[in-house]
Amino acid sequence: MPISIMKPDLSRIPGDLGDARFNNYILEHGHRYITGKEANYWDVKFMYPYKNVVACSDNLLGTLPVYSVFRGAGCDRETSFQLWLISLFALNFIGCFLAMKEWSKKITLSAVAAYVYAFSIFNIGHLNHVQVFPRFMIPLIIYWMYRYLSTKETKYFLFSTLGLVLQFYCGIYLGIFTVTTLVVLFLAYLLVYRDKGYFTQFARGPVILYHLVIIAIGSALMYPLIEHYTLTSETLGFFRFEEVKGYIPELRSYVFATDVSYTWNKLSHHSVEHFPQFWNNYLFPGIIPFTGILLLPFVMLSRKINKPKKQFIAFTALALFLDLIFHLKFGDFTLYEYIFSIPGFSSIRSVDRIINVQIILFLILMVFCLDQLIKVNKYTRLLIFILPVLVVADNLIKPDYAIKFSKAEAQARTRELQKFLTSTYDNKHEALAYIPFNLEKEQQFKIHLDAMIVCQDLGFPCVNAYTGKFPGAYADLYERLDYPSLGHWCDETHTDIKGIAAINELGTFTQDASKNFLQASNKLYLSAESDARVIADKPHTALWEEFNILKYNSGEVILKTYANQFLYIDTLNGGKLKYQSELPDLKQSFEMINSGPKTFSLKDSRGKYLRLDTGDNFIYADIDSISSQSEFNIAN
């Protein structure tokens, strides 16, 4: 699946220009840290001056060495990210195959289960959240935990503990969901096996000591991670249950397929209108994982299957049932509310990501039910040869429909910006804030990430940010990405805005005075008319009379209308003041000459002063010196 989406020449990157590039940024930051280019891992150089920024999202530390190997081999950051992602799919297959093979001793069934685990169509729904793909440890953790429960051998408790620690370092979300799955596994084991020996073993002192030592080792290894994430949760606050409720899957989520699926495309429409964020509910993993549930009555009622096998299958089925029931929503009712009340769980929101862990329970049930069916019914033995073909057909996709972006275009975006910022940023400021004029609606994330990536390569701290959670005033700055919001962020963080180089397409500016009402010498307000002309004829102010004044380090000013259109002099029309949507250059800027606290004149790049024409109330730039008609007032 990943290569078919990326193309054999690796020209495409799965996901969009947001999360995918952000995860690439975090991996690159980790690589820079371990190679000595960054002094501090957690205080990454974006969202300046905020500290502990990495802990606002998943850190991917557990798989950083994989990425770093490709970077060390000379691959660029984007190609290393692609190879890292391909490696994760391979590792997920291997991890699941090893666990299933050890458990069932069946190579073909284990390979089929591993194929589903690594390449199932439910993964398509997570292409924008590749932080959930490092999950190769989960099948092994669950296998080791079962072995620990059934044999009481503490080495398996050690393996599962260390595996769980690594999973947390691979991703906080799946680490937490692995814990809930281990809990239901433990409950199901006690309910089905009624194993009193599990508890009586703790009557022996050495057994208690071994467990305490293992827990201490796991806790010590987890502490550096938990310390930073706890600090972030305490600082930024926790999610309210109402915020999380919309992310809890429903039963219909498990039969809701991605429209990228070739085989199951008809299941991709029934819940689009039902879920506000329907793409997060693409939890259908194909039909094959459901065969365990479908075969369960036959297996449990069959007289040809011995009691130990039935008992294990009942244990697996109960674990799956409990895991489902505690992570599902039925109308407005959900048992997940009880899990949410446990300390730590209110720091996560996307409960739908539970499928990445839950799928292993589906697969264990599938493998053992199919195994028993094949053993007791000679007519089903052909399944062992057909299943590999069926599992591929079950998960066929239309790669051209999958969300992805051009690697070359993404590199070009940052390459052009890097040239500009290198020539513009003077290194005399503490940090840089890239605040462009051309800000597409709801596309701020692209601008923020462009700036972050460029500043990372250049080693500049930047105010721009993209992450899982924003503190205080930064949420407004992220959305608006303008100078006043930057000022609010600086005020909140007790940062001198003069230490921030605010840069847009024209250079570094020192002031963005928003919502100015400008009066001409006739005491009437300037207004941006619908015909692109500026006229001074309004006795009162409204939206059309709002103007922004941007002052640049070089001394020039740019004036904008309320709708982010730029004032310029139409030299082909008598030097009349008009406005346009096109981005100006500094040749279309003005020099502001102050004659009082709020009184000024404007001179264009030709040396002509703007004046009021008292005949038609339009503004012209056609005089060589300041006069009474060339003075304007800021009348806020």
Q: Report pLDDT for 252.
A: 96
CA 357 distance to own-chain centroid: 19
Q: State the average pLDDT for the chain.
A: 93
* pLDDT tens digits, 247-286: 999 999 999 999 999 999 999 999 999 998 898 899 999 9
Please check whether residue 232 is in contact with residue 52, taking contact to mean a CB–CB distance below 8 angstroms.
yes
The pLDDT value given to residue 235: 87
Structure tokens at 8: 């054999």
Considering the chain, what percentage of its residues have pLDDT values greater than 70? Answer: 99
pLDDT of 321 higher than 70 = yes
- H/E stretch holding 609 reads strand 609-612
More confident of the two residues 564 and 444: 444
Single-letter residue type at 192: V
Contact indicator for 128, 18 with CB cutoff of 8 Å:
yes
Which tokens is 529 given? 């008319």
Exposure string of 484-504, with b = 16+ CB inside 10 Å and e = fewer, is ebbbbbbeebebebeebbbbb
Query: What is the reported pLDDT for 507?
Result: 87
pLDDT in tens, 489-519: 999 999 999 999 999 988 888 877 667 899 9
Confidence grade of residue 438 (pLDDT, cut at 50, 70, 90): confident
At residue 513, the pLDDT reads 67
pLDDT tens-digit profile of 24-71? 999 999 999 999 999 999 999 999 999 999 999 889 999 999 999 999
**Residue 525, by phi and psi: left (phi above 0), alpha (psi -120 to 50) or beta?**
beta
Across the range 456-467, mean pLDDT stands at 94
| Distances 410 to 10, 235, 433 between C-alpha atoms, Å | 13, 33, 20
For 196-260, the DSSP string reads: THHHHGGGSHHHHHHHHHHHHHHHHHHHHHHHHHHHHHHHH----HHHHHTTS--GGGGG---TT
Q: Which pLDDT belongs to residue 441?
A: 66
Burial class of residue 21, CB neighbours in 10 A (0-12, 13-18, 19+): buried
pLDDT at 523 over 90: yes
Band (pLDDT 50/70/90 cuts) for residue 148 is very high
Stretch 526-538: mean pLDDT, rounded? Answer: 91
Q: Tens of pLDDT along 200-225?
A: 999 999 999 999 999 999 999 999 99
- The secondary element (H helix, E strand) that includes residue 514 is strand 507-519
- Answer for the pair 434, 23: CB distance below 8 angstroms, yes or no: no
C-alpha 330/C-alpha 191 separation (Å) is 25
Picking from 208-217, 363-372, 528-537, which range would have the lowest pLDDT averaged per residue?
A: 528-537
Distance CA(16)–CA(404), nearest Å, equals 6
pLDDT (average), residues 373-392: 90
Q: Which residues are paired to 323 by β-bridges?
A: none
541, pLDDT greater than 80: yes
Q: Tens digit of pLDDT for each residue in 291-313?
A: 999 999 999 999 999 999 999 99
- Structural domains of the chain sorted by starting position, each given as residue range(s) with its CATH number in brackets: 58-401 (no CATH), 507-634 (2.80.10.50)
d(CA 180, CA 452): 35
Contact 411, 78 (CB under 8 A): yes
**Confidence label for 2 from pLDDT (cuts 50, 70 and 90):** confident
